[in-house]
């Protein structure tokens, strides 16, 4: 068996190779979700009388078999199959003859792939959320542990004012928590059921889109059938933007670490087990994983660019162009998850060199605080500023540890507000856990229909 | 008076011109919000005993004067002032002498510009939300009016199945409503108070960040002072991503309209008052506003690219690079708002040519429906499909008006669900109105402090 | 054996997986060029007395064996090897013991990978040039064949003035010939020898960089050793920009074809063997390869974005970030070459429907020509334009075939200048052939050293 | 007078504002080149008998008057004029009545704006070339002066091997010289005459495109009239890519300088006249111009993105979208030229701190050289490498000054090959000077026609 649309002539071989591309390989990751979608679709067809109960059972059994084969790596999509949908229908037809030929009524590959991608993204977005929260926890622990370790705060890369390792680490924790809001928005948009949109124009059958949406655990039906199809690259872009923001935060973190780990700074030391060496310089311990995170952030950003540029001027309705963004989506999920894991690993082992951190505190770093103190005592601030500027070479050094503890307003080095952050983490983790458990129930219910 | 940090030598003239750039021009739009931020800051300083009540009154009166001057276009920022913050402090110092020199204690231009940008963005995001909702309303009215006008639905740009003008127009309405979710996420992130972050490391004064946040109407204090500073490009990116999604939807809409308006299709006619002509071809009516929307979408997308690429590898803390993204943000707000207005205008006048729309319905457009009907009557769908494929040249034409009405499941041409969309619009408009009224109260309260 | 820099402890397993990434898979394509580079390096070492003649022969024999194994698909790089350079050195050491350990003196993996990439790019750029020229030839033949077939010329997508299929097709031929200039610039920059740069700081050995450059067929030594390393992403960007311009031209061509192939236009018909079908619409013939070319152009453009963004702020010297751009480069070469082949195939089979093309000629299309004619006869042009504009509904139709033949100045529909284009093609093909033959000689000479 | 295409009704005011945008402001920079193009066009018309000699003289005199007015800032394009072409034709018609109405025969605004942009770009590309060469000279002088000043060479940001300030500075000089090749390719492509393409379909008049090309100093006629129009964004992209490569090199240079100027490194000191201060930290000297260059590079890169994304899927022929890229082009020229000037200024004043540079040389930096030395003396390199790795803590320090002088092969720290670079500069400067003088002659000849 070959393509679903074959009609007695064959596609030119070179064109076939070009159009299938890597789709049949990527689709291998969609086998289970494609079968789950088909179970829900078939169930709905039996509810509205298009299939008999018995037909539904027959189809379901065969779909469960595919899921089992896939688990063992034994359901392979062939290039001639084009995609997972075809491979599954071909399997059903081979096994069930005419019954297999009935499954595709009332839907199209266009809404089918949408279902698959949304279920795929749902799982992966939850994975990302967990990894983000895991890293945030590690960063908060790190910030707590080093909340009293002074670090020269910088603006314009130049030493500016007293700061702390805690403030620095916690700033990334809060950034990632904001990224979580982007991921949640993406999750909510993604969690709508496109099933029943068919080719983007609906069907004359009295299908029950609400039922399939419930069976598949979507929070609602995505209403307009044409929009369901055209929303594909939009939702991918929303997801990729969220991922790219996560990656950009990791990249800035990596970039800071690379800078702060040169021997001239030596604020932090990366364990040697995490550093690559050189083929000619025996002494080298290179922060390769950090550099790769930095580069991978540009990669995920480019995936977003690819998706938005692919979609910008496409005519309404399904276009084959959509196929090309699948790899960008899949690869970005993988990259982001791996980068989060590695970042967490690094932070759980990062060595902080307090002595080197203290060595950076030249008297000038306290200049702004001195001007503020003078102003507090009555000198108009701008005057105090100018007076301090005149005697920069006569400034006395201070104890940075005392300095940072004295800054006690909300969010300052002496009052990081980590408890507030921890509460936020706890709430978010609970939410993710609940949603994951809900999805687990949805899956089990589908398998047991 | 010149720069706040002058210390007896002058910046090289060429360097000065280069570093100031257009900032002093762009900042002209920030005069009022900068003054409002300063009123809140001064009030807080008086509450914690750094300024006397009298001093606060003096500063406030002068700041109100600036706001009045600005309204009349008489408060001009000079290149030598660098930015709005300096222009304002210089005005205060000129008018109030030493009292003016007191205002800057406990803050920095770094958190000041953040306050300004967030208040600026707050207002403009609400404007955008209103414009989006306005366009959505027009699209829904248009969809309603033309819900029974058939239109050939296309996939791969080729005729596919019966659809309707209503389905097509409503698909964009739903896309824009999803964009609204992105804007709301951006609004919430943006609506946090950075004030008190100072240079990104806080201050030794016992400032009350909660008080200034309340006075300025922010929903909460942005906690970590370092993150407040580094979040600047992140929040700009989140805003620009939302705007670029709006623009990309408008671009697709424009692109569809351009395609459907060629004489060979003539589905729609743009009023001639909206079309530009040619200097050599007397007959031309060119859809210039649509083409410009299409191009401007690429422009706003490039602004997002600019901001994320500017920020990706910057070290923690303030960096002057941030200055360069201001224009991208301001221009994107303008562009998006103008493009929404023009799109609304176009849709309120667009002529629909039902006859031309009907002419596109060749018998083949009904092929899928025929296969579905055969399948409904018992032929396995894949068989029905192949049978229909064999007799494509013998298909009979149908009445597309009846066809689309027969598709009655949720979101299909015969059941667009516009009421649901209208309810959503109503709720969102109410929310925007409430928030706008809340901001109005915040502003009046500040002026009356 | 494992990594070249192992020193008695092992890299953390998770970090190792992350840092190696797909590099060991991609490097499989570099086996031969890596060995050729090593032969040249070893020969140079023997010329300056670091290796004996015998040692050189031993190394060369083993390197030739690797090339033979690779040809048969039997030289496999393992993840633990990290990259091709390590795999090769490990093979040499296993086979030749201490002699294998001598090969790496006077170089580093940093300049080694540069040599590999430049030799890789040299071959692929020539392939691209040939494919571009092949497509240009097909386009010129097509233009010639259809030079008298009228086609409505459009501006703003709307009908504008008489044009021809020939003018349209030849416009893409000339675009691609301009792209060739970009490829040639890329080829010349790329064709410089980085060998001897070592880690970017040279070596204390008296290596002869001119000799290795000649042996490897580079047109010159890339002088500054630090620049040799930092130029890696620049040269990749230059190559990717050229490829992306080719892809964008193919995308515009595909986009035009998709537009001109809808039934309402039917200017062109794509053979059905090149069209994919639908799983639900029996009548569909979708221009899938054209849509994919359109999407792939956005993909190659995103690869350029990735490379420039990865490189923009990297510190001078080698950075591991470079590893991440390899896939972007390799994939873009593949994509561009495949898209060129498919485009050529399509044009060799594209059916032109003269009747449909003629049907587009409404009288208005001749309006500008009429104004010009009136102006030629003495009415000031702007007056003639306004007069024609007043009587648009009274214009008479003309024979478009006569019209286009009357436009005889250079480059106009009646004078396409295809001979000039053909001469250009001939010259370029000759150049490519010569360069390919030169590279063949270089390779054979290396193998026979 | 208003638009050239007015026909008795007016464009909707809001639409008019939207479509004109900033075009009338940007076009102010094109007044002279537009007039020069018109002189050439009119002359050609008189040569082929469409205008009389006397008519040509009349038109030329009026065009020269516009050029004179423009020089004094007295030729202002109004929004109602739309663009420079309309403003000029309106002036001619007002002054010369019917004669003014004759100028536009045989051309269109489409080829007219192309001529303007190409002449504009020609001048600005030469400016950029001169600025690039100026900076290269300064860098080479700087490299020469500091060729014996050691600097720790880095890979992965970590100390690697001995290098020199000279090697570092010269690496950027060579990068910029490669950028020059990109600019030259852009210049050559740009230097083709589009005049006579008219609206993209030529004209029935026997115009002499070769004559106008010669009069305007283009190296050749751009043949295919349709390609002339569609090449507009391509040529802009080619120019912007070259500019963005220059900017990216400046950004890397700025980035290195920022890193090497922190007090912990203090390799370089930026004069205080080039540094901005802080409003709260009296001690600050911030490298603002360097940060802005870094950010502006992302800006120019985004302009390239904008242009390629605007153009990718546009249909063949003129599209109004083109208007939107004008600002990206103009602003990128300005930004690049200003950034080159500032970079040159900075390098002419940059202070090099040899003591701080020497302080970075820990014994480990010599490890690779030691392994090489052992290998030179007979130990297989990989063995030597491992031996050195075992005794890293026992390495002895060396004199880095001697070390770098010992590396004498081509391009190494002890042999920078600056003479070769200087010869290249000289040749390029001569070429630019000649071309500029040629363009001057072309201009004078046009004025004197």
Q: Tell me: the pLDDT tens digits for D6-29? A: 888 888 889 999 999 999 999 999
Question: C379 and C339 in one domain?
Answer: no
Same-domain pairing of A166 and A310: yes
- Distance (Å, rounded) from C-alpha D313 to C-alpha B298? 12
What pLDDT is attached to residue B1? 61
| Partner residue opposite B317 with nearest CB, options A154, A251, A386 | A154
Of C93, C199, C312, the CB nearest to D155: C199
- Dig out the tokens for A31 from the structure: 């086998």
How does the average pLDDT of chain D come out, rounded? 96
d(CA C429, CA B400): 55
φ, ψ at B68 (rounded to 5°)? -65, -45
Residue C178: per-residue pLDDT: 98
Q: Do both A333 and A374 map to the same domain?
A: no
* D291/B319 CB distance under 8 A: yes
The one catalytic residue among D104, D147, D156, D276: D156
Min Cα separation C163/chain A (Å): 26
**Token duo for residue D248:** 């990216």
CA angle B67, B70, B72 (to 5 degrees): 120
Q: Is the pLDDT of residue A6 over 90?
A: no
Q: Regarding beta strands C268-269 and C192-193, do their DSSP bridges make them parallel or antiparallel, or are they unpaired?
A: unpaired
How many structural domains comprise chain C?
Answer: 3
My answer on whether B145 and B26 are in the same domain is no
Question: Which of D105, D140, D171 is the C-terminal boundary of a domain?
Answer: D105
pLDDT of residue D275: 93
Look at residue D397 in the predicted model and tell me its pLDDT.
84
Buried b / exposed e over B272-287, threshold 16 CB at 10 Å, is eebbbbbbbbbbbbbb
CATH label of the domain that carries residue B160: 1.20.200.10
Using CA atoms in the order B179, B182, B184, B188, what is the torsion angle rounded to 10 degrees? -170
- Given an 8 Å threshold on Cβ–Cβ distance, is B292 in contact with D324? yes
For chain C, list the contacting chains (3+ Cβ pairs, <8 Å): A, B, D
Instruction: Indicate whether C323 belongs to any domain.
Output: yes
SS3 annotation, D312-359: CCCCCCCCHHHHHHHHHHHHHHHHHHHHHHHHHHHHHHCEECHHHHHH
Q: How many CA atoms lie within 13 A of D164 on its CB side?
A: 30
SS3 assignment, position C349: helix
pLDDT for D199 beyond 70: yes
Asked whether the beta carbons of C218 and C140 are under 8 A apart, the reply is no
pTM, entire model:
0.98
In whole angstroms, what is the distance from residue B191 CA to residue B200 CA?
18
Q: B3 at the D interface (CB within 8 A)?
A: yes
- The DSSP output letter for B176 is H
Q: Are residues C239 and C281 in the same domain?
A: yes
Stated as kind and residue range, the H or E segment containing D161 is strand D158-164
Is residue A174 located within the same domain as residue A116?
Answer: yes
C-alpha torsion A356→A357→A359→A363, nearest 10: 170
Residue located via tokens 């130990």: D379
Q: Is residue A207 part of a domain?
A: no
The pLDDT tens digits of the residues spanning D292-317 come to 999 999 999 999 999 999 998 899 99
Of C264, C286, C368, the CB nearest to B264: C264
- pLDDT at residue B243 is higher than 90: yes
Q: What confidence tens digit (pLDDT) does each residue in B181-203 have?
A: 999 999 999 999 999 999 999 99
pLDDT of amino acid D8: 80
Q: Tell me how far apart the alpha carbons of residues C260 and C267 are, in angstroms, rounded to a whole number.
A: 5
Is the pLDDT at D197 greater than 80, yes or no? yes
Model confidence at A294: pLDDT above 70: yes
Kindly state the tokens that stand for A142. 């790190």
The reply to whether C197 touches chain B by the CB within 8 Å rule is no
Quick: pLDDT tens for A266-281.
999 998 999 999 989 9
First-to-last CA distance in chain A? 29
D284 part of contact set with chain A, CB < 8 Å: yes
pLDDT mean across residues, chain B: 96
Residue B148 DSSP SS3: coil
Chain B touched by C394 (CB under 8 Å):
no
**Strand C150-155 and strand B351-352: pairing?**
unpaired
**pLDDT tens per residue, range C268-298:** 999 889 999 998 999 999 999 999 999 999 9
Please check the confidence at residue A1 and state whether its pLDDT lies above 70.
no
Structural domain containing residue D383? 363-396
Work out whether the CA dihedral B379, B384, B390, B395 comes out positive or negative.
positive
Both tokens assigned to A289: 């994983």
**Final residue of a structural domain among D105, D137, D155:** D105
Confidence of residue C373 (pLDDT cuts 50, 70, 90): very high
Residue B411 CA to residue A220 CA, distance in Å, equals 12
* Length of chain C, in residues: 449
Q: Is D202 close to C403, i.e. CB distance below 8 A? A: no
- The pLDDT assigned to C397 comes to 84
Reported ipTM: 0.97
D352-375: string of b/e by CB count within 10 Å (b at 16+)? bbeebbeebbeebbbbbbbbbebb
Instruction: Report the gap between the CA of A108 and the closest CA in chain B (Å).
Output: 10
* Residues D193, D220 contacting (CB under 8 angstroms): yes
CA dist list (Å): C201 to A264, A283, C195, D141: 20, 16, 12, 20
Alpha-carbon torsion, ordered A96, A99, A101, A106, to 10 deg: -140
Q: C156, C204, C279, C409: which is the annotated catalytic residue?
A: C156
Comparing CB atoms, the residue among C10, C286, C298 nearest residue A306 is C298
pLDDT at B3: 84
Name residues whose C-beta falls within 8 Å of residue A262's C-beta, 6 or more positions apart in sequence: D157, D158, D159
CB atoms within 10 A of CB D163: 30
- Using CA atoms, how far apart are residues B336 and C380, in angstroms rounded to an integer? 42
Percentage of the residues of chain B whose pLDDT score is greater than 90: 93
The reply to whether D216 falls in a domain is no
- Domain contains C230: yes
Are C55 and C129 members of one domain? Answer: no
Of C223, C238, C227, C122, the closest CA to residue C185 belongs to C238
pLDDT bucket at D1, cuts 50 / 70 / 90: low
Q: A160 and chain B: CB distance < 8 Å anywhere?
A: yes
The CA angle B68-B69-B73, to the nearest 5 degrees, is 120
Q: Model confidence over B299-349: pLDDT tens digits? A: 999 999 999 999 988 999 999 999 999 999 999 999 999 999 999 999 999
- Chain A positions in Cβ-Cβ contact with residue B310 (cut-off 8 Å): none
Q: What is the pLDDT of residue B313?
A: 86
Q: What percent of chain B has pLDDT over 70?
A: 100
> Phi and psi (nearest 5°) for B394?
-110, 5
Could you tell me if C153 and C185 lie in one domain?
yes
Q: How many C-beta atoms lie closer than 10 Å to residue C396's C-beta?
A: 7
Confidence of residue C2 (pLDDT cuts 50, 70, 90): confident
| Band of pLDDT at residue C10, cut at 50, 70 and 90 | confident
- Per mean pLDDT, which range of A74-83, A336-345, D209-218, D411-420 is the poorest? A74-83
pLDDT at B434: 98
In a 10 Å sphere around its CB, with 0-12 CB exposed, 13-18 middle and 19+ buried, how is residue A353 labelled?
middle
Q: Are B254 and B296 in contact (CB under 8 A)?
A: no
Q: State residue A151 phi and psi, 5-degree precision.
A: -150, 140
pLDDT in tens, D354-397: 999 999 999 999 999 999 999 999 999 999 999 999 999 899 88
Beta strands at D158-164 and D192-193: parallel, antiparallel or unpaired:
unpaired
Confidence check: pLDDT of A2 > 80 = no
Q: Does D118 touch chain C (CB under 8 A)?
A: no
C11 confidence band (pLDDT: 50, 70, 90) = confident
Pairing between β-strand C158-164 and β-strand A220-221 as defined by DSSP bridges: unpaired
Residue D251 φ/ψ region, left for φ over 0, alpha for ψ in the -120 to 50 degree band, beta for the rest = alpha
* Domain final residue pick, B70, B105, B140: B105
Read off the pLDDT of residues A368-421 as tens digits, 9 standing for 90 and up: 999 999 999 999 999 999 999 999 989 988 999 999 999 999 999 999 999 999
Tokens representing residue C297 in the block: 């152009």
3-state SS assignment for residue D151 = strand
| Long-range residue pairs from C59-65, CB within 8 A, at least 24 positions apart, any chain | C59/C92, C59/C96, C59/C99, C59/C100, C59/C102, C59/C103, C60/C449, C62/C91, C62/C92, C62/C95, C62/C96, C62/C100, C63/C35, C63/C38, C63/C39, C63/C88, C63/C92, C64/C35, C64/C447, C65/C95
| pLDDT at residue number D11 | 85
C284 touches chain A (CB under 8 A): yes
Cβ neighbours of residue D236 closer than 8 Å, sequence gap 6 or more = D117, D307, D325, D328, D329
Task: Write the DSSP symbol of residue B199.
Answer: T
Q: What is the CATH number of the domain that holds C57?
A: 1.10.275.10
Q: Are both A281 and A183 inside the same structural domain? A: yes
CA B410 to each of CA A387, B327, C218, C339: distance values in angstroms, whole numbers, following the listed order: 73, 44, 66, 40
Asked if the structure places residue B8 within a domain, the reply is no
pLDDT of residue A19: 92
DSSP states of A397-446 as a string? Answer: P--HHHHHHH--STTSTT---HHHHHHHHHHHHHHHHHHHHHHHHHHHHH
Q: Which residue reads 């199809």 in tokens?
A: A229
Tallying the residues shown for chain D, one arrives at 449
Amino acid D3: pLDDT: 84
Averaging pLDDT over each range in A15-24, A189-198, B6-15, which range is the top one? A189-198
Residues of chain D with Cβ-Cβ distance to B306 below 8 Å are 298-299, 301-302
Determine the length of chain B. 449
Which residue from A minimizes the CA distance to B312? A248
Among the listed residues C278, C316, C397, C437, the single catalytic one is: C278
Residue B397: which residues within 8 A CB-CB, separation 6 or more? B361, B362, B363, B366
Closest Cβ–Cβ partner in D278, D279, D368 for A281:
D368
pLDDT of residue D396: 86
Q: Does C397 touch chain B (CB under 8 A)?
A: no
Beta strands in C320-438, from DSSP E residues, in sequence order:
351-352
Q: Give the closest-approach CA distance of B79 to chain C in angstroms.
A: 29
Domain contains A130: yes
DSSP symbol at A316: S
> Could you give the CA distance from residue D149 to residue D143 in angstroms, rounded to a whole number?
9
Inside any domain, residue D169: yes
A118 and A99 within one domain: no
Query: For residue D73, what pLDDT is reported?
Result: 96
Nearest one of D438, D443, D435 to D133, comparing CA atoms: D435
The DSSP 8-state label assigned to residue D204 in this structure reads S
Q: Which residue has the tokens 């969220």?
A: A242
d(CA C332, CA B275): 40
What percent of chain A has a predicted confidence (pLDDT) above 70?
A: 100
Does residue A377 sit in the same domain as residue A432? no
Contact assignment for D14 to B320 by CB distance below 8 Å: no
In a domain, A159, yes or no: yes
Phi, psi of B155 (to 5 degrees): -125, 150
Where b means 16+ CB within 10 Å and e means fewer, C153-171 reads: bbbbbbbbbbbbbbbbbbb
Catalytic one of D108, D204, D244, D278: D278
- Token pair of B448, please? 């009356």
- Are A309 and A392 in a shared domain? no
């Amino acid at each position: 068996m070959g393509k679903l649309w074959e009609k007695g002539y064959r596609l030119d071989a070179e064109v076939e190779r070009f159009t299938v591309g890597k789709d049949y390989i990527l689709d291998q990751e969609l086998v289970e979700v494609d079968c789950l979608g088909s179970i829900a679709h078939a169930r709905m067809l039996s509810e509205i009388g298009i299939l008999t109960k018995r037909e539904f059972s027959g189809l379901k059994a065969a779909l469960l078999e595919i899921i089992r084969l896939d688990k063992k790596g034994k359901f392979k999509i062939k290039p001639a199959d084009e995609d997972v949908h075809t491979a599954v229908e071909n399997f059903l037809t081979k096994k069930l003859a005419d019954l297999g030929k009935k499954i595709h009524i009332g839907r199209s590959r266009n809404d089918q792939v949408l279902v698959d991608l949304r279920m795929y993204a749902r799982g992966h977005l939850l994975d990302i959320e967990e990894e983000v929260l895991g890293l945030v926890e590690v960063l908060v622990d790190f910030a707590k542990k080093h909340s009293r370790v002074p670090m020269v705060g910088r603006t314009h890369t130049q030493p500016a004012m007293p700061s702390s390792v805690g403030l620095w680490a916690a700033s990334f924790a809060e950034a990632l928590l904001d990224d979580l809001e982007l991921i949640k928005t993406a999750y909510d948009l993604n969690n709508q059921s496109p099933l029943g949109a068919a080719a983007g124009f609906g069907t004359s059958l009295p299908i029950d889109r609400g039922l399939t949406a419930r069976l598949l655990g979507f929070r609602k039906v995505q209403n307009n059938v044409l929009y369901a199809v055209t929303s594909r690259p939009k939702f991918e872009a929303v997801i990729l933007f969220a991922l790219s923001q996560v990656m950009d935060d990791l990249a800035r973190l990596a970039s800071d670490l690379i800078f702060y780990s040169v021997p001239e700074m030596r604020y932090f030391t990366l364990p040697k087990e995490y550093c690559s060496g050189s083929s000619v310089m025996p002494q080298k311990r290179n922060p390769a994983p950090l550099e790769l995170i930095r580069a991978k952030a540009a990669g995920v950003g480019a995936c977003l660019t690819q998706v938005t540029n692919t979609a910008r001027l496409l005519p309404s309705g399904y276009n084959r162009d959509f196929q090309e963004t699948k790899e960008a989506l899949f690869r970005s999920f993988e990259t982001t998850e791996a980068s989060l894991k590695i970042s967490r690993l690094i932070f759980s082992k990062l060595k902080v060199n307090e002595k080197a951190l203290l060595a950076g505190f030249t008297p000038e770093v306290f200049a702004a605080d001195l001007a503020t103190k003078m102003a507090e005592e009555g000198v108009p601030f701008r005057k105090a500023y100018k007076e301090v500027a005149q005697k920069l070479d006569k400034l006395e050094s201070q104890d940075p540890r005392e300095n940072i503890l004295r800054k006690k307003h909300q969010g300052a080095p002496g009052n990081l507000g980590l408890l507030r952050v921890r509460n936020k983490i706890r709430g978010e983790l609970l939410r993710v856990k609940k949603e994951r458990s809900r999805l687990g129930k949805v899956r089990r219910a589908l398998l047991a229909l």
